[in-house]
Amino acid sequence: LVGSEMCIRDREIVYSKTFHAVIAAKVLGVTIDDIKGLPIREYVAVTSNVSVFLVGTLTDQALQELSGK
């Protein structure tokens, strides 16, 4: 993949709720079915927390690269 294709693919992964659910399941030591079986409000809360973590981490990395650290 070239740069722009990688960015598109990476952005799709970072914003995928299914991907966030898989990460949450791994971190919590439960199955993906356990996460998918949560009531919608809990599912959204869990996947949103993963999203905030991922986007925050990526933002921190980008800022470090821009500042030359």
How confident is the prediction along the chain (69 residues), in pLDDT tens digits per residue?
444 554 555 556 667 888 899 999 999 999 999 999 999 999 999 999 998 888 776 666 666 777 775
Write down the pLDDT at residue 55: 77
Predicted TM-score (pTM) of this structure = 0.64
- Distances in Å between the Cα of 15 and the Cα atoms of 28, 44, 66, 67 are 20, 13, 23, 25
Token pair recorded at residue 42? 């809990």
- Measured between alpha carbons, how far is 19 from 5 in angstroms, rounded to an integer? 19
Q: Rounded to whole angstroms, how far apart are CA atoms 22 and 6?
A: 21
Q: Quote the pLDDT of residue 69.
A: 58
pLDDT at 45: 94
Amino acid at 11: R
Residues near 13 by beta carbon (within 8 Å), at least 6 away in sequence = 19
